[in-house]
Structure 1
Amino acid sequence: MKNSDLYRLYYFLLFLFAFFGHSFILNAQEKDESETLRVGVYNNPPKIFINEKGEADGIFIDLLEVIAEKEDLQLRFVTGEWNELKQQLTEDEIDLLPDVAYSRKRDSLYVLNSIPVLSSWLDAYTLKDTELESLSDLQNKKVGVLKGSVQEEFFEEFAKKNLKLQYSTLTYDDYQASVEALYNKDIDVLIASRFFYFTKHVNGKITSSGIIF
């Protein structure tokens, strides 16, 4: 794909999603001639996921398909785990990775659109019988986060620097693994974005604590 084609899509995203909060990551390196844009897809419903038919689906996929149709671009979806796809982006094995929250480190590595697509915040999720009424209740708790996520980075910085809390952090490759850890009581709290609330995992047994940051 021509570099001009990539930036054509990039700027279209900027203006089309002018008032929304996660970003699309776009590789800034020069591209070969091609009509196909390689898009990384991982399971993080409802924003992006593989549905029961084995197809890429979610908010970001719907928006990207509309843009691709208008811009006469073909999409090839590449599935994988979050950290795996980040590495593939770095090594130029995919062209674009949707659903990426901003951080200074990511901004130094990739081309990020400056106008966000979706807005979000972090929430603390627990088993229904767990008492968690304030951030101070995280003291001495075992906290689960996605490996390599902005949740992990932000939570570490916020809680340790501002609240002076002592806790253990355990990382997981995907939400399914972290949910299983919560059921098994390997962790006390799961830190995830607000969109986690709309997944099948929040089913009455797992609930939002109402603590957001």
Structure 2
Amino acid sequence: MKKIKLCADIKHPPYEFINDKGEVDGFNIDISKAIGKEMDIEVEVELLDWTEAIKAMDNGEYDGIEGMSFSGNRQEKYVFGPEYITVFHSAFALEGRQDIKDIINLYKYRVAVQKNDVGFEIITRMSSNKNPISIFVVSSHEDALKLLLEGRVDLVVGNKLTILHYAEKSGFKNKLKLVGSPIHLTKYGIAFKKGNEVIADKFTIGMKKIKDNGKYEEIYDSWFNHKMGYFGKQIIENIDTGVIYIDRLGRVTAINKFAKGILNLPLEKILFKSFYETDIAKIFNTTVIHNILDGVEDTYYAKIEIDNMDNKKYLEVNYTKLLDDKNILIGVLINFIDITERKKMEETLIRKDKMESLGFLLLNIAHELRNPLTSIKNFIELIPEHIEDKEFKESLIYHVPKQIDYINKLFTSLLEYSKPDEANISTVNIKELLENDIMRSLCKLSNDSKGIKFNIAIGGDFTLNVDKNQIKQVLINLQLMELKILVI
């Protein structure tokens, strides 16, 4: 049996750490040993200060190093085996810091990070000569958190679960708040020195084997308690709505065939990956997912539009937190239905209703046009006989423009019905509006055709702060609907 010696961070729970019994423990430890057992390799792991572990690895004292992130710089230096897990690197502040809402202007704050952690690389890259960030470099996430709790820094940046682990251990979890979205999606794995490609390939083969035989999921569930169970997954698979289950670490753990069909998602590119790495992040609201995972929200409802292979679809989506039998948050359940046909039907009914209302409106306008046009016609016919009559001229000059203005207002109302202008708010007496602008014409229309009578029972002092033209159109629509019902 081949034997290899690995090193890792001594203070990086739940991935690598010394447990209460003084033993080497952690998710990454268990995965490495499971791979070793599968590939007939004896795996020995020693935990050191992270910076010391990297130095020892570079000096050839160890064959590999666990918990190494797959950053660009490191991939040039090391050869990587399989990815063990994908995690979030996030920024934390104290709950009372209302002035810290995002990490856009980090140069304004003091930031604590672990030396040689991927968070250190990220913050260093964000700093510049123009806007330098005040960076406090420490040896562990635990030390970074201590600086935050003591008020010596404004933010701590690091692995989300590790920081929360130390916060919960010290009883300060409720005093922390996440700032913004995760700053980095970090892939953790095992790194070997260049030239050790053979052993790296063996670990990659071993990872595939423990995933195929279920050992990986068993270890994952034992550390992160996200197991939904066989019956839970069967229920999800056999309901006729789309269901996606994202566990507490943001990993897509289950997706049913209805969801795959609607979203056209290839399962092999979705399942057991962080939702940020998949098309799920392009379709669903990532902020809501994070808020639920972080305990900020319980549920969220939305309607969304997606383009699926040039085929536009509309979905009704519910985001819900999922709890285990001990009432502990274990993930987010995204449940959705396809409402494309319903929306098309609603749009058709809206268009139909609008056209019917428009028909009534045009009929009303036709009746309204008769009086001013008749008046104008009468004046024109009398011009030859009374062209020299001074009183007639004055009457002509006074009445004809008023009738033309009235016609113009009718057509303006028709245009506003189709495309209302920006609201012009004023105090409007509703009784006067009904009597003078609306009911007069509607009563005339109904009296002429159906013998329908209208009574207005409204106080003269009833006013609203509205756009007069738009509220007029709303009332016309309502009255036309009522008239239609009465006529039918």
- TM-score computed with the length of structure 2 as normaliser: 0.34
Distance 1:175 1:206 in 2: 14
Distance 1:165 1:128 in 2: 26
1:154 lines up with 2:144 in the alignment:
no
Distance 2:162 2:177 in 1: 10
Q: Give the C-alpha shift of residue 129 in structure 1.
A: 1.1
Whichever structure has more helix as a proportion of its residues is 2
- 1:204 corresponds in structure 2 to 174
Q: Percent identity?
A: 20
- 1:189 corresponds in structure 2 to 155
Distance 1:82 1:197 in 2: 16
Q: Give the C-alpha shift of residue 36 in structure 1.
A: 2.4
Task: Note if contact 1:48-1:60 (Cα within 8 Å) is conserved in structure 2.
Answer: yes
- 1:125 corresponds in structure 2 to 92
- 1:88 corresponds in structure 2 to 56
- 2:28 corresponds in structure 1 to 60
Distance 2:177 2:5 in 1: 36
1:75 lines up with 2:43 in the alignment:
yes
Q: Which amino acid aligns with 1:100?
A: M
Unaligned runs of 5+ in 1: 1-33
Q: Give the C-alpha shift of residue 198 in structure 1.
A: 4.2
Task: Note if contact 2:88-2:182 (Cα within 8 Å) is conserved in structure 1.
Answer: yes
Distance 1:185 1:179 in 2: 10
- 2:270 corresponds in structure 1 to none
Q: Give the C-alpha shift of residue 48 in structure 1.
A: 1.6
Report the aligned-residue RMSD. 2.1
Residue among 117, 137, 152 paired with 1:171: 137
Q: Give the C-alpha shift of residue 165 in structure 1.
A: 4.4
Task: Note if contact 1:136-1:165 (Cα within 8 Å) is conserved in structure 2.
Answer: no
- 1:102 corresponds in structure 2 to 70
Task: Note if contact 1:172-1:178 (Cα within 8 Å) is conserved in structure 2.
Answer: yes
- TM-score computed with the length of structure 1 as normaliser: 0.74
Q: Alignment partner of 1:204: what SS? A: helix
4+ residue runs over 3 A deviation: none
Task: Note if contact 1:46-1:198 (Cα within 8 Å) is conserved in structure 2.
Answer: no
Unaligned runs of 5+ in 2: 184-488
Distance 1:93 1:200 in 2: 30
Distance 1:69 1:125 in 2: 38
The 3 A distance-change label for structure 1 pair 197 and 102 is same
Task: Note if contact 1:133-1:211 (Cα within 8 Å) is conserved in structure 2.
Answer: no
Q: Give the C-alpha shift of residue 104 in structure 1.
A: 2.7
Distance 2:43 2:156 in 1: 33
The 3 A distance-change label for structure 1 pair 167 and 123 is same
Q: Which amino acid aligns with 1:176?
A: E
Q: Give the C-alpha shift of residue 122 in structure 1.
A: 2.1
Q: Give the C-alpha shift of residue 137 in structure 1.
A: 5.0
Q: Larger RCO: Structure 1 or Structure 2 (Cα < 8 Å, ≥ 6 residues apart)? A: 1
Q: Alignment partner of 1:87: what SS? A: helix
Output one character per residue of 1:148-170: Cα deviation in whole Å (capped at 9) or x when no partner. Answer: 1221112222x336xx7442011
Distance 2:104 2:151 in 1: 20
1:40 lines up with 2:12 in the alignment:
no
